[in-house]
Amino acid sequence: MSETIQFLPPRQAVLSRRTAIIADLADLLPPDCLVHEPRELVPFETDAFVAYRRVPLAVVLPRTTAEVAAVMKYCHRYGVPVVPRGAGTSLSGGAIPQEDAVVLGLSKMSRILEVDYANRTATVQAGVTNLSISETVGADGFFYAPDPSSQLACTIGGNIGMNSGGAHCLKYGVTTNNLLGVKMVLVDGTVIELGGKHLDAAGYDLLGLVCGSEGQLGIVTEATVRLIAKPEGARPVLFGFDTSEEAGSCVADVIGSGIIPVAIEFMDKPAIEICEAFAHAGYPLDVGALLIVEVEGSEAEMDAMLKEIVEIAGRHGVKTVRESQSAMEAALIWKGRKSAFGATGRIADYICMDGTVPLGKLSYVLKKTSEITDSFGLRVANVFHAGDGNMHPLILFNANDPEDAAKAEAAGNEILKLCVDAGGCLTGEHGVGIEKRDLMRHQYSEADLAQQMAVRAAFDEGWILNPSKVFPLEGRPTT
Ligand SMILES: Cc1cc2nc3c(=O)[nH]c(=O)nc-3n(C[C@H](O)[C@H](O)[C@H](O)COP(=O)(O)OP(=O)(O)OC[C@H]3O[C@@H](n4cnc5c(N)ncnc54)[C@H](O)[C@@H]3O)c2cc1C
């Protein structure tokens, strides 16, 4: 694939000391916590934004906060870039390393440290997978709400890095709304704690700043997250429409009516076909767009909410309404939705865009998205968190054809600009990473960006933490 996104040029002073750096890191860590043989570094060369790859200088996999602190102290002293990494499922290239960087992987820090039902919290190490929290507390009637489709693999540290969301975040909020505290190692190895089990904290909201900071402000080693009691019942319902525009305007009216379902997910015709062929979820194939709306509560509460939603959908020409009749059917409906990216990968290479728009603009942006991909001669499948206005056009292309790949990137950029111009923003949940870095100027003024970079530099003056990401390369403060 052609590379249109630039990385920072590697620091020659670091590259020329590679052997010494590896020897020093070996002194700081147990032998099984350091990876430096070239072929063993290959699995760390990219993340789920696979178009770009760089083999890092070395990988460290510490087991404790003290080991993370020792590595950071060393790298800070010698100006060695560090790229934090959870499971490497970032779709914006957030965890892609650079040649002069040490990848700091949190995968060995995967213990649930405490479950505290009295305070409804769980305290976990950063490398714990998202799903394992809900699995641990599920039998006791609790769950952790943010549910990225990658939840089987992605880590809490990565979720904090990207402020991740998921299908069920419409009602419960995204990571930042469910994060109460972190233990974090600063760039020079200092360990700090932000927040805790309490609801609010005195002073500046640094926890809010850290959530979504894409590994640029420090390394999160532990997190305290909110646990939520499971509802009495939950029911996903399928609403089929002839057109994407009808489905989009229905979403805006449901939210505008004051009803907050747990989830409203959208699929257009290509997405329905792709997911149905993979999951056999029972999605209707004779519709142009599908909403999966999930309500929860007692039977009476769910019935009342659904009655209102069906009435609203009726005003938008709904063609099919189908309630799941069993737990197995409900699980299949969600399996289809949550495997959308994997199912798409079976038929073509794709890049997944992640723009957010005001709900009133959903129909307009969907229409324009098709026009953009048509103008590039590319196919698109839309599957996304409609209730949050968080769009995910999957642009299909052939990665072995550099021209096709360049067209896909160009179409993706146009779509993200469209989201911004419609009053939305460049990212809903996947972060800026390397993918959207050069579009930041479309969203922000020079003054806005300078202020954000000043905050970043207050944490990391030498810009060694995940340095190629988030901010355009030109116009950065010189270090
Ligand atoms: C099939 C698929 C489906 C997906 N579905 C969703 C979805 O529904 N919703 C959603 O929001 N995302 C989704 N994603 C994207 C991705 O899973 C999320 O961004 C996730 O939070 C990344 O977690 P990770 O552990 O893989 O982190 P990584 O990809 O390893 O890292 C992500 C970022 O966080 C930083 N980071 C990682 N760990 C730490 C740490 N301990 N301290 C500081 N910084 C850290 C990294 O430097 C990087 O910038 C999906 C991805 C895939 C492949």
Q: What is the pLDDT of residues 88-131, one digit of tens each?
A: 999 999 999 999 999 999 999 999 999 999 999 999 999 999 99
Instruction: State whether the beta carbon of 430 lies less than 6 angstroms from ligand 1.
Output: yes
pLDDT, residue 215, reads 98
Q: Please determine, looking at this structure, whether the domain spanning 12-105 carries the CATH number 1.10.1200.30.
A: no
- 207 Cβ contact partners less than 8 Å away, ≥ 6 residues apart: 179, 180, 181, 182, 194, 195, 201
Angle at 212 between CA 209 and CA 213, to 5 degrees: 70
Q: Which atom of ligand 1 is nearest to the CA of 157?
A: 41
Instruction: State whether the beta carbon of 87 lies less than 6 angstroms from ligand 1.
Output: yes
* Spacing, Cα 272 to ligand 1 middle (Å): 25
In which residue ranges of the chain is pLDDT below 70?
A: 1-2, 478-479
Reported as a single tens digit per residue, the pLDDT across 399-445 is 899 999 999 999 999 999 999 999 999 999 999 999 999 999 999 99
Instruction: State whether the beta carbon of 182 lies less than 6 angstroms from ligand 1.
Output: no
pLDDT, residue 1, reads 52
Residue whose CA is at the smallest distance from ligand 1 atom 44: 215
pLDDT, residue 476, reads 84
pLDDT, residue 51, reads 82
Q: Please tell me the pTM assigned to this model.
A: 0.96
* Spacing, Cα 341 to ligand 1 middle (Å): 14
Q: Please determine, looking at this structure, whether the domain spanning 112-229 carries the CATH number 3.30.56.10.
A: no
CA-CA distance, 433 to 428, in Å (whole number)? 13
CA-CA distance, 23 to 261, in Å (whole number)? 55
What does CATH list as the number for 234-340? Answer: 3.30.70.2190
Instruction: State whether the beta carbon of 85 lies less than 6 angstroms from ligand 1.
Output: yes
Nearest Cα neighbor of 83 from 387, 469, 474 is 469
* Spacing, Cα 148 to ligand 1 middle (Å): 9
Which CATH number among 3.30.300.20, 3.40.50.300, 3.40.50.1970, 3.30.70.2740 corresponds to the domain 348-421? Answer: 3.30.70.2740
Q: Decide if 112-229 and 348-421 have a common fold.
A: no
CB 452 within 8 A of CB 444: yes
Nearest Cα neighbor of 250 from 305, 303, 284, 290 is 290
CA-to-CA separations, 244 to 81, 249, 290, 394, 432, in angstroms, rounded: 45, 9, 8, 15, 27
The phi and psi torsions of 143 (rounded to 5 degrees) equal -155, 165
Q: Which atom of ligand 1 is nearest to the CA of 147?
A: 8
Instruction: State whether the beta carbon of 393 lies less than 6 angstroms from ligand 1.
Output: no
Amino acid at 414: E
- 218 Cβ contact partners less than 8 Å away, ≥ 6 residues apart: 184, 185, 186, 187, 192, 210, 459, 465
The phi and psi torsions of 253 (rounded to 5 degrees) equal -70, -35
Residue 202 three-state SS: coil
Instruction: State whether the beta carbon of 214 lies less than 6 angstroms from ligand 1.
Output: yes
Angle at 475 between CA 471 and CA 479, to 5 degrees: 90
pLDDT, residue 475, reads 83
Q: Which residues of 309-331 are buried (b: 16+ CB within 10 A; e: fewer)?
A: beebbeebebbebbbbeeeeebe
Pair type for strands 82-85 and 102-105: parallel
Pair type for strands 58-60 and 102-105: parallel
Q: How many CB atoms lie within 10 A of CB 4?
A: 13
**Alpha-helical segments (H) within 316-354:** 327-338, 340-347
* Spacing, Cα 234 to ligand 1 middle (Å): 27
Reported as a single tens digit per residue, the pLDDT across 187-206 is 999 999 999 998 888 899 99
* Spacing, Cα 447 to ligand 1 middle (Å): 29
Instruction: State whether the beta carbon of 81 lies less than 6 angstroms from ligand 1.
Output: no
DSSP state of 1: -
- 27 Cβ contact partners less than 8 Å away, ≥ 6 residues apart: none
* Spacing, Cα 164 to ligand 1 middle (Å): 7
Residue whose CA is at the smallest distance from ligand 1 atom 41: 157
* Spacing, Cα 49 to ligand 1 middle (Å): 11
CA-CA distance, 287 to 445, in Å (whole number)? 42
Q: For the chain, which residues make up each domain, given as ranges?
A: 12-105, 112-229, 234-340, 348-421
Instruction: State whether the beta carbon of 154 lies less than 6 angstroms from ligand 1.
Output: yes
Instruction: Identify the helix (H) or strand (E) that includes residue 351.
Output: strand 349-352
CA dihedral 240, 242, 246, 251 (to 10 degrees): 10
CB 165 within 8 A of CB 178: no
* Spacing, Cα 249 to ligand 1 middle (Å): 30
The rounded percent of the chain whose pLDDT value lies above 90 is: 94
Q: Which atom of ligand 1 is nearest to the CA of 90?
A: 29
